[in-house]
Each structure stands twice: as C-alpha cells, then as structure tokens.
Structure 1
Amino acid sequence: MTETRANTKKLFIKTYGCQMNVYDSDRMMDALAPHGYETTLDMATADLVLLNTCHIREKASEKVFSELGRLKELQSERRALGGDMMIGVAGCVAQAEGEEIARRAPVVDMVFGPQAYHKLPEMVSRTESTRHLHQALRKPIVDTDFPEEDKFAHLPAARKEVTIKRGLTAFLTVQEGCDKFCSFCVVPYTRGAEVSRPVSQILAEARGLVEAGVKEITLLGQNVNAYHGDDEGRVVGLGELAHRLAEIHGLERLRYTTSHPRDMDDALIAAHRDLDILMPYLHLPVQSGSDSILKAMNRRHTAAEYLKVIETIKTARPDMALSGDFIVGFPGETDQDFEDTLKIIADVGYASAYSFKYSTRPGTPGANLGDQVDEAVKNERLWRLQDLVNAQTTAFHASCVGKTIPVLVERPGRMPGQVGGRSPYLQAVHLDGGAELIGAIHQVEIVGTSTNSLVGRLKVSVAA
C-alpha cells in the first residue's frame, strides 16, 4: 500500500433501516477516522464499502446480495485501474445470516453484527494485511457473536468536526436489544438481550453533541423506555435519565424512540408532565387492536391496557400527539380482528403511523404459524388502514393552523428565501426567512398545510 493511499483512504457506508443503524453508521465512521478513513458520497471511489443492513423488511437479505453483485463489478473496475475495494456487511442481516453471506458472496471481506462494530478497525487491519493473497486463499472475517464486553466503552468519542456536519439534531443510543420476543420480530435474535448504557456515558456523549451545536437529541433503543442504566451503583429509568439530560445547558429538545406500552412507567409519564424539553410526541406501537392477535403476537398487553396507558399519558400531558405501528394480516387475523384494529385507531386518533403487511421472518415463532392471510386480503386491509391513518394525519395538521408553535429551524428551504424546520410534533415546517434563522427555535404561526408539512409565518425568536 502506498503512503498516499494510507493517508487518503475513502469510506462509503450505505445504511438501511432504523435510526439505530444511522447511529451505528456514524460511530463506525468515528471508529475508522483515526485510521485514515474519510467518508465519501461516491461508492465507486471508496477503498472500503460497508453495507449496514436491516432485517425488518421483507426480502432484506436478497437486497443485500443484489447490492453485493453491483459492488463486485465496482471492485473489478477499481482493480483494473490499479486500485482496490474492501467490502463489509454489517448490521442485522449480517448477524442473522453471516455464514451464508460469506458462502454466497466471496467478494465480501468482513461480516459483522451490531455488537461487533467496535472491532471494525481491527477487522479492517486484518483484511488489509491479506490483500496481497489471491482471493481464493483469503477467508472473510465473520464476527456475529454476542460479546460480554460493552461495545460502547470501546468506541472513541464522536469527533466534534464530524458531529458539526451532522447538523442540529442527533441520535444517541441509550439502550439496545429486546427481551419481549414478539412473535413477528427478529430483534432479540439480531440485537440480543436488553442492555442499557451507563448514565455517565450517555451524559458525556450528549454534552459533546451539544458543544458541537446539536440542539435536539433523540434517544434510541429497540425498547428505549425499558432503559435501566447504572448511575454510580444505582439503577436509573428513562424518566430520570430525561431529567438528567434536561440539565445540560444548550440542549433544547429531547425525544426518544421506540417504546413498548408495558414500559411506560409513572416516572416517565411524569417526566413528560414536568419537562418542557421532552417533546409532546410519542411513538408507542400497538400493532393490532385485537386481543387474540395481540396474544398471538406475544405483545403481553391487551387493547384496553394500551388505551389506559394512552389515557394516563394524555392526562399528564394533554397536548401529547401519538404515533404508532400496525401490522395487518398477521396469521389468523379475521375480519373482526381487523375491525378491532380500525377501532383502536379511531379511539386514539394518531398524528401519524407506520403500517405494514405481515411477512414471515425466518427464525421467529410467527414463521411457524399456520392460517396465513391471503395476500389480496392483506392488501385491501392495508389500504383501508392507511386511508384512516392518513385522514387522521391530515386532520392533525389542519388542527395546527392558526396556532403559534415553536419551530427549530434547521436548514434552507426548498424554495429561495425559505427555511425549514420541525415542530414539537416532528412535522416539517416551511416558512419565509433567511439563513440567519437557522440554528434556533422560533415562534411560528401556522398559516397552512401541504401534503406532508406545515406552512408557517415567523413571529418571535425564543432561543438562540
């Protein structure tokens, strides 16, 4: 390897799926930066390409293999010009199908799951040391174990110059894995058991983000409100963690996702009541409104229990808006089960929601269930559900017209002389104004709506 190559190595990461994968990709960049890697937006010029994969969507692994076929061609082109390209597959598909990826795609140099990315510099170094060997003599590195050590403790701190480039908002992982074992979900098998980061780690990372200019932090976890982190020998829940984060000067907004209804405890609900910094927008999936389907999903709560949680939250924070997840066509779902789901949507009144047709995930209990729902029935149910949710979202946007709300202005708008930001309810807001507005929270009167956003008019700045 030439000295020039060693000093100017380029890294391209393609990220699939959830916000936690976005966070993981950022930390992989941080881990590789001290080893001479700089990120590039052009995959074809990269010395190292990483696919950070997600196993939630249907046919996720086949999409990865398709991308690897394209990468094989790019690698051949690089080699024809005297260069090279290392290729790695990370994330949940790697965790679930590591050996299969190594077998089917010999172009891959390393395969590693979400628990191993702190070892990435070592894996890259090992791979670089064997580049002189013929490909037939090289074996890909496969690391899909669930280690006992804390991966976060082994990562370098996020670099300030990179954090600044990430903008005014940032993700911060506080919890990983899940112990719920919903019968449709692969997370316990790809991310492992629930693990919570110590409070000191989280506060240090949050302070670094704020020092770099971040105004809004979203706390991440597969089951984030099950957070139970150590605070000098004492166990702290998400509600108390929110109070600690609220003490950081310069942090203007705090969010978290994704939550489970069974873990919305009194302390967290009280934090929503007491902390202005905690945004009044909660993503709280229910998946189905039918008790029989909830039982088959192993959700371990009923529709009535879910509604009771919603009632308690809205009593504490009347302006709370809800987002949810719904799966239609779970095995055994009858017409009445589906009507029960429409009813719970009507009862709650969602500001937004994500909805999906059920598809089997190999290795999950749901994959072995009979009584599969016909695809045409799934399609029709999904259309009806989305039609209802879209109507609720439109109504929620319309209810904001005439109100004055605080908007964190984040970027130039799509049109000249316009800027864009986010409301407390995570809605995109566009308004007339110059670049001097970016980076602060401003009071904005909502004067109209468009398909997926609000239209505002500047009133008074409330934060610098």
Structure 2
Amino acid sequence: MTRARQAEVISFGCRLNLSESETIRSLLARESDIVVINSCAVTAEAVRQTRQAIRKARRQNPAARLLVTGCAADIEREQLAAMPEVDGLIPNTDKLDPRAWNVPPRPGLTPPTAHTRAFIAVQNGCDHACTFCVIPQGRGPSRSLTIPQVLAEVERHLTMGAPEVVLTGVDVTSWGHDLPDRPRLGAMVRAILDAFPRLQRLRMSSLDGVEIDGELFELLAGEKRVMPHLHLSLQHGHDLVLKRMKRRHSRADALRLVASLRARRPDIAIGADLIAGFPTEDAAMHAANLSIVDELDIVHGHIFPYSPRPGTPAARMPQVNHAVIRQRAAELRAAVARVRDRWLNAQIGQRLHVLSEADGTGHAENFARVAIPAGTPRGTILPLTPTRLEEGLLQ
C-alpha cells in the first residue's frame, strides 16, 4: 500500500508570501497528497519560475492534487489554469481562509517553527499605483491587522521560541491607514517592544522611506532591539524615472533619510530594491542609478531587470532593449557587490551577535552573513568576532 504524502507548500517571492506559506502549511497539516505553489508575479521571470515549479512538482508528485495560489494565480489566472499540471487555483485573497482549502477552521492556529525568524504579516495589499507594478491587482487594497492582532501573533511566535520577529507586508509603512484614528507604524512597533521585553530582535522588511514616521525613525535610530538594518523600496536613483514610476520620493529624500539615520546610528546597514532598464531610461539615468549605490552605501541590494507586466502603464511606455536591461542589471549588481565587499571587510575584527540558522551560518544584527561553529543549535544568538572573509561569508 502506498503511503500518502504530507501536504507540501512551495513558496516564491516576498517575505509576506513566506509568512503566508507557513499558515497554509498549518491549515493543511492534516491533509495529504496536496502540493501548493504559492506564486509570485512581480516580474515576468517570477511567473516563469512559477510555471517551471508547477511542471517540476507534477513530475515529482504525479498522483498529488496540485493547487496554485499567490499573486500569479490572480494576475496570470487564465494562463496557469490552462496548464495541464494544475488541478485548481486558490485566489490570493482567500488563501488564508480554511474554506478555500476545504478544511475545517482551526481556532488559535499556530504556524510551525519552520524558520529561525518569525515573519509576521502586519499588512496586506497596496493603495498606490506605481506604473510598473501589478501587485495591487493580486493583493487588493491595503488592509492592516490591529495592534491587538499583531501582539497576539508576536506572542505565539515568542511562545514557540522565536528569537527574532520580522514585520512584513506588501507596503508595511502604510500600516494603520485603514484603521480608526489612522495610527502610524512607529506606534505599532513601540507597542510590540513595550509588550514583550523578552523579544530580543525586531527587524523590518522593505519600507517606503517617505512614509517613515517620527516615532519609527526614533526607534530605527536608537532602539537596540530594532535591528540596524533598513531596506528601502527605493526603485531608482534618478528623479525623472522616479516620477515616471509614480514613486512619492525623490533621490534627495532618500539621501536625507539615510544621512539622518547614520548620524544617529552609524552602524546601520542599508538595503534597497533597484530596477534596471525602466522604460525611457537613458545612459545618464542609469548612471544616476549606479551612483546612488555608492552614495547610500547599499550593501543589501535587490536588483530587478525591468520586465513589462500586463495592464500596467509602464508596459505602454517606450521600452529599453532587453540586452541593455540585462547589462545594466549586471552593472548594478556589480556596484552593490563592490560596496558590500568593502562593508563586509570592515566587519572583520568587530564583535557581532549572530542568530544561527540551520545551514551552518547565521545573520548578525546588520544582516551580515557569518559562519557559526559546528553544532550550534538553531535559533541561538551568539557573540562572534570574524577574522576573515571568504566568498562573501564572514568566518
């Protein structure tokens, strides 16, 4: 007799998807012979990877029920539904609802401890209309958890032993805009820190710098339990491109924000999302994109080669040649690699507190990746002083 396989969830894309995949695993914990692809649609490459994963999952699980959810399940619905490997699609907005999976409700659902960090989705959806982005089509309008709901989620993860909490969302800095009295994100972060003195580390996912409120700035600048690591939803370093993207910040805004934070917290590590080859981008605009990497000292760079997404205004703008986009993306990655290498070398000899992962490495407060001693239990925070850098890993 063939033994039924436990439900499997394969996740792509953002930290919010990762968090939601943990909840889906819990919902399906008593189910078998189900494979779920939690998809991403932020770029054409993300959709290609989703389709590739669907085919691979079907080859490896020929008898399983294969279901697809996530942003691509909404944005590329017809194309994915037409794939012979797919048995069904779960709308992105319904994927945390037990009824969508035909399973009974499970009050007090606690996600499994599959990750060293607890990813808590405090917000979903987006109210902005960036010209390149399809995510509002897949996620809907911005919706926030209340502070009591967030505190309950943090409590669950701390009870399970999570040493670090990461607050995630589609547009985290818009948290609270839809709640009574429109609280700001800083108030929620302060509530978490006040409610849980035992919480050792709190980290933020990607933030829109123009929406960082005064209290959040103070916490980023001076609270030791808030990690010195700011990842900006920057997208570009040239003002005209930012305007054509319908972003709400300028290059000068980003420079001022980072300079102000560094004046208060010199060890803060800066990350950023940058798009290469946005429509109409010329050589001078690309040069501005490259130069902001050095000006902000971007050490954690997420570089996205632009790809037109269906139904977006940017898809109707004059496009940059694909080969040029690839080359510009490679140059941006190289620029970040140079800055990152210089930064990592500066960490040698510094005392770092490293949260151990399952793969023999861990991450310091500033998210530098560090080798950890063999046999260190997962989830341990230990002080280490690296003595060398090998292939991007502090040793």
Please report the TM-score for the alignment, with normalisation by the length of structure 1. Answer: 0.78
Change (3 A) 1:407 1:69: closer
Aligned to 1:450: 390
Deviation at 1:300, TM superposition (A): 2.0
Alignment correspondent of 2:8: 12
User: Could you tell me how far apart the structure 2 residues matched to 1:387 and 1:66 are?
Assistant: 28
CA distance in 2 between partners of 1:59 and 1:351 (Å): 24
Which stretches in structure 1 are left out of the alignment for 5+ residues? 38-45, 79-84, 127-153, 414-419, 456-464
- Return 5+ residue gaps in structure 2 as ranges: none
5 Å-filtered alignment, 1:140-151, equals none
Query: Is contact 1:222-1:259 (8 Å) kept?
Result: no
SS in 2 for 1:49: strand
Indicate which of 302, 309, 324 corresponds to 1:354: 302
Pairing 1:96–2:96 present: no
1:43-442 to structure 2, matched below 5 A, reads 47-70=33-56, 77-78=62-63, 85-102=64-81, 104-105=82-83, 107-124=85-102, 156-159=107-110, 162-163=112-113, 166-228=114-176, 234-247=181-194, 248-370=196-318, 372-411=319-358, 413=360, 420-432=361-373, 434-435=375-376, 438-442=378-382
C-alpha deviation, 1:440, in angstroms: 3.3
Residue 234 of structure 2 aligns to a residue whose secondary structure is coil
TM-aligned CA distance change 1:229 to 1:382, over 3 Å = closer
Q: Secondary structure at the match of 2:44?
A: coil
Task: Describe the superposition over 1:246-266 as per-residue Cα deviations: whole angstroms up to 9, x where unpaired.
Answer: 231431101111211221121
AA aligned to 2:166 is T
Q: Say whether the 8 Å CA contact 2:237–2:251 is kept in structure 1.
A: yes
Q: Distance in 2 between matches of 1:289 and 1:303?
A: 6
- The SS at the match of 2:102 is helix
TM-aligned CA deviation for residue 410 of structure 1: 3.6
- Greater shift in the superposed pair: 314-323 or 57-66: 57-66
C-alpha distance after superposition, 1:114-170 (max 9, x if no partner):
2101334454369xxxxxxxxxxxxxxxxxxxxxxxxxxx8743437x23xx24321
State the alpha-carbon separation in 2 of the partners of residues 258 and 423 from structure 1: 18
Work out whether residues 49 and 86 of structure 1, in 8 Å CA contact, stay in contact via their aligned partners in 2: yes
Which residue does the alignment assign to 1:149? Answer: none
SS in 1 for 2:13: coil
Taking structure 2 as the reference length, the TM-score comes to 0.91
2-side partners of 1:187 and 1:312: how far apart? 31
Structure 1 range deviating more: 240-249 or 288-297: 240-249
Instruction: Indicate how the Cα distance of structure 1 residues 440 and 122 shifts in structure 2: closer, same or farther if over 3 A, else same.
Output: closer
1:341 & 1:331 partners in 2: Cα distance? 14
Amino acid in structure 2 at the alignment position of 1:447: T
Residue 355 of structure 1 aligns to a residue in which SS?
strand
Counterparts in 2 of 1:293 and 1:249: CA distance versus 1, 3 Å: same
Once residues 68 and 440 of structure 1 are traced to their aligned partners in structure 2, the CA distance between those partners, rounded to angstroms, is 35
Q: Distance in 1 between matches of 2:369 and 2:39?
A: 27
Alpha-carbon distance, 1:434 to partner: 4.0
Measure how far apart 1:105 and its partner are.
2.8
Distance 1:62 1:348 in 2: 32
Deviations 1:9-32 (A, max 9, x none): 621111111111111111111222
- Cα contact 2:143–2:178 (8 A) shared by 1: no
Secondary structure of the equivalent of 2:315? helix
Contact 1:175–1:220 (CA under 8 A) maintained in structure 2? yes
Answer whether contact 1:411 1:438 (CA < 8 A) is retained.
Answer: yes
Distance 2:100 2:214 in 1: 44
How much does 1:61 deviate? 3.8
In 2, Cα distance between equivalents of 1:222 and 1:112 = 19
Q: Percent identity?
A: 29
Q: 2:25 aligns with which of 17, 29, 49?
A: 29
Structure 2 Cα separation of the partners of residues 155 and 220 of structure 1: 23
Shift in CA distance, 374/107, structure 1 to aligned 2, threshold 3 Å: closer
**Conserved? CA contact 2:8–2:25, under 8 Å:** no
Measure the CA separation in 2 of the matches of 1:411 and 1:213.
15
> How many angstroms apart in 1 are the aligned matches of 2:131 and 2:109?
36
Q: For the residues of structure 2 that align with 1:25 and 1:438, how far apart are their CA atoms?
A: 21
Deviations 1:76-125 (A, max 9, x none): x53xxxxxx222110001011224433x1355332122210133445436
Cα offsets for 1:430-454 (capped at 9, x unmatched): 143543x654322222211122221
1 or 2 for the larger relative contact order (CA 8 Å, sep ≥6)? 2
**Alpha-carbon shift at residue 65 of structure 1 (Å):** 4.0
Amino acid at match of 2:185: L
| Aligned alpha-carbon RMSD (Å) | 2.6
SS of the aligned residue for 1:330 comes to coil
* CA distance 1:192–1:159, change in 2 (3 Å): same
Per-residue displacement from partner, 1:370-394 (whole Å, max 9, x unpaired)?
2x11223223322222221111000
* Separation of aligned partners in 1, 2:355 and 2:264: 24
What's the offset of the Cα at 1:349? 1.0
Give secondary structure in 1 for the equivalent of 2:235: coil
Supply the distance in 2 between the matched residues of 1:302 and 1:186 (Cα, whole angstroms): 22
Alpha-carbon spacing, 1:89–1:348, altered in 2? closer, same or farther (3 Å): same
State the aligned residue count: 394
